[in-house]
A and B are shown apart, each in its own frame.
Chain A
Amino acid sequence: METKPVNQLTISYIISYVITAIFSSVLTIVKDLNAPLKDWMKSLTTHHWITHGIFVVVLFLLLALLFNQQKVGKKLTADQLSNWVIWGTILSGLILVGFYFFEVFLKVH
């Protein structure tokens, strides 16, 4: 079966997803440890989680659009993009779960 190139929009969405997913997990940690940041996020929409969601969705769409226009990662293969999805999801998930597990079950308060 012939190997076809991956569509640029697909490449852009996947790269954008991985960057945004990691950003979201890091933002979660930073806002949890930084009360002024959390308060600022709350002030924008009445709840920090609403603001977080808006940041994430907007960043995701903007990056996808930008990467598509700039043809970022145009030579990435399907196998490489599979790895991006797998490791990006695992990494952002581990950052999140690891942080809260440490904060709740391991950290001495």
Chain B
Amino acid sequence: MIEFLLFLHVFLGVGGVIAAVWSFVELLNTSELNLKRIKIASLWTALFFWASYLFGGYWYVVYYAADKAIINAGQWPWAHSFSMEVKEHLFFLGLLMATMLPVIIAKSPIVQDKKIRRMVQFIVIFIILVGIAMEGFGALTSFGVRVGLTGGK
């Protein structure tokens, strides 16, 4: 069950990235026909990011200490001191952008104004980049546990 929580965190995070990519693709061809889909996609982006934060945050606060001890005793201590530390703090940027995204889309004339649409696209691009960074840093941290357990390098 404990590891399933961690799986949920990753699964929901990937969901957030997929929803953000969906938002971006829809934004490339914005019209009245897909405006509703853009709003839905942006809302899913926010919901997935928050869900990933809550599940991951709970797992981190309650269970990560054991993994951290394994990482620090292994050959890849930087998997915690660099990878995990950056991940847990960089995430807030993505969370804030994902939170404001549906509000901005709801309030912005993205169909009528190209520059406003581009502004929103930049926000979505950075949400995607932060999401991908989370996956990468998370993988490195997990590998740090694996290296610690197997004695690998």
Tell whether A and B belong to one assembly.
Answer: yes
Interface residues of A, CB < 8 Å — how many?
44
Contact of A3 among B89, B108, B113, B126 (CB under 8 A): B113
Bound CA span A105–B123, Å: 31
Q: Using a CB-CB cutoff of 8 Å, which residues 31-87 of chain A contact chain B?
A: 32, 46-47, 49-50, 52-53, 56-57, 60, 64, 77-79, 81-82, 85-86
Interface set of A (CB-CB < 8 Å, partner B): 1-4, 6-7, 9-10, 13-14, 17, 20-21, 24-25, 28, 32, 46-47, 49-50, 52-53, 56-57, 60, 64, 77-79, 81-82, 85-86, 89, 92-93, 96-97, 100-101, 103-105
B2 to A: closest C-beta gap in Å: 17
What are 29 A-B interface contacts by the 8 Å CB criterion? A1-B112, A1-B113, A2-B112, A3-B115, A6-B108, A9-B103, A10-B104, A10-B108, A14-B100, A14-B104, A24-B89, A24-B93, A47-B61, A49-B57, A49-B60, A53-B57, A56-B92, A57-B99, A85-B119, A86-B122, A86-B126, A93-B93, A96-B89, A96-B90, A97-B90, A100-B81, A100-B85, A104-B82, A105-B78
* B93/A21 in contact, CB under 8 A: yes
